[in-house]
Structure 1
């Protein structure tokens, strides 16, 4: 019962992320007069479309928290890769772009790959909270990864820069989800335990950092370059963190090769969907 509730909240969060992604992509596209970082930031804070996307993103965050409170990290985050198919639908409506046959094939491949992967992996229930020493190791590793990826991105041209920043953002998002699950897992000890746990406030800090990284990723290049790294990186790292932090055991063994095939399907679908005009989008001047 709770597994169904968790998946439902995860799908709702993915839909919210899709709507927010399209709106913020429109708002974050820099105009000639907003090339400087400060001018661009002011432009975002005055842009009603971007602000609407930020509000939707906050609501999807609440849905994600509900999903993580009732389900497993290794299930919730992969389900949220459905953000990309939802982006296709939302983008098609907003940009009045009808998906072609190749795009629908990518949609089907990603959906089938995700369903197959979750069925084969079947992660077990883990521990509800994480010991502090595990967070020290994982947190330090995540900070180093983000710092290295961000430094590398500054030396790259637009498309690879967006892909590398998307990977760094994925690390931040996966860490945020893991912290969120650890925080919500303490509700069983009472709401006081939730509001006194350091994880609750770290979620806000890391989540805000990830949000800012996302805006830089949008600004760096096209969704074609950044979205696959962001979507797949978040899902993959969340599965790893579920095993490392929450002891969620995965079904491997003879299933490894079929699981790799399912991952390949998801990767193919993700890359092809990111190329679709309805997902990649256009500037607002081209669309409205």
Structure 2
């Protein structure tokens, strides 16, 4: 129960961080060309809301790590889906403050109910079995082979996720924007799912005083790569393409790999399995609806220099001004 509370607190903190960061970044002029990311970061570093979002995001990640240490991945990881629900509540509060009304339709609240209901049903029917040890930990001679196999699964999953992100980054430019966005989003989701397993393993080792291990090295490489890949996915296409793929696939990857990598197994039996499938399905449907129809899906992209070239001079409607033969100006 304590792990669930920490997981929900982490989701709430990450939702608040996302709202603050999006509010700051959405009003910053988009950058293009060499060093665009550095220039954008320089602008954001001068914005208090973005800095506050970073601090809140760091707190959320810390709470998430504590939740994983206290609980099991198959229970804690799906809780992050409530980040969209908390974001919806924050968006509704902002809408009431600015416009005097919620501005959110019934479909969004229905999707939020699906997320919460799916989480409850999955949590009740999951009943995960206790894991005798965590991958990468030191155990007795009887469990050496089992631990070696789990560590292989853990590091192998990280290697596959990292390879997918590198391939997506190198070959994505050959695809159309929509397909490139989906490819990068799937690669980022796989990385985030494996990150949760690595955080769980590293937390168990740190608690025993083991500060350096292969899972820690893998986490130090995969975590920033996953973040960069997700940002590239958001840049490649609409948020309604990238966010549903990331939010829906991330818990599926973590739950699927938690068994072979960490020894966490869900309750067996036809009834339990049916409840788990129904709960997870409701959760995923709610997440996709929230991601596609939430307030963040209607955010406008900041104008770029390329946009100005296509439309004409910035701020002038009706096209670019051009000089005619008599010296007067007309719109093209």
What is the TM-score when the length of structure 1 is the normalising length? 0.85
How far the C-alpha of 1:121 sits from its partner, in A, is 1.8
Task: Give per-residue Cα distances to partners, 1:159-213, cap 9 Å, x unaligned.
Answer: 44333322211111112211111011124423xx1x2334334323322222222
Note closer, same or farther for the CA distance 1:30–1:175 as it changes in structure 2 (3 Å cut).
farther
**Residue 124 of structure 1 pairs with residue 129 of structure 2:** yes
**Residue 249 of structure 1 pairs with residue 268 of structure 2:** no
How far the C-alpha of 1:85 sits from its partner, in A, is 0.8
Note closer, same or farther for the CA distance 1:118–1:37 as it changes in structure 2 (3 Å cut).
farther
User: Moved runs in structure 1, 4+ residues, more than 6 A?
Assistant: none
What does residue 17 of structure 1 align with?
A: 14
Map residues 213-252 of structure 1 onto 2, 5 A cutoff: 213-252=229-268
If asked which structure has higher relative contact order (CA below 8 Å, sep 6+), I would say: 1
What does residue 40 of structure 2 align with?
A: 43
Does the aligned pair in 1 maintain the 2:14–2:56 contact within 8 Å? yes
What does residue 73 of structure 2 align with?
A: 73
- Root-mean-square deviation (CA), in Å? 2.6
Q: Computing the radius of gyration over CA atoms, which structure comes out larger, 1 or 2? A: 2
What does residue 106 of structure 1 align with?
A: 111
Does the aligned pair in 1 maintain the 2:185–2:246 contact within 8 Å? yes
Tell me, in whole angstroms, the C-alpha distance in 1 between the residues paired with 2:71 and 2:30. Answer: 46
Bigger mean CA offset, 163-172 vs 48-57: 48-57
**Residue 172 of structure 1 pairs with residue 191 of structure 2:** yes
How far the C-alpha of 1:72 sits from its partner, in A, is 0.3
How far the C-alpha of 1:285 sits from its partner, in A, is 7.6
What does residue 86 of structure 2 align with?
A: 86
Does the aligned pair in 2 maintain the 1:44–1:51 contact within 8 Å? no
Tell me, in whole angstroms, the C-alpha distance in 1 between the residues paired with 2:153 and 2:294. Answer: 42
How far the C-alpha of 1:58 sits from its partner, in A, is 1.5
Number of aligned residue pairs: 280
Segments of 5+ residues of structure 2 without an aligned counterpart are 136-147, 304-332
Note closer, same or farther for the CA distance 1:63–1:110 as it changes in structure 2 (3 Å cut).
same
Note closer, same or farther for the CA distance 1:162–1:90 as it changes in structure 2 (3 Å cut).
farther
Tell me, in whole angstroms, the C-alpha distance in 2 between the residues paired with 1:30 and 1:160. Answer: 27
Does the aligned pair in 2 maintain the 1:23–1:50 contact within 8 Å? yes
Tell me, in whole angstroms, the C-alpha distance in 1 between the residues paired with 2:302 and 2:169. Answer: 30
What is the TM-score when the length of structure 2 is the normalising length? 0.75
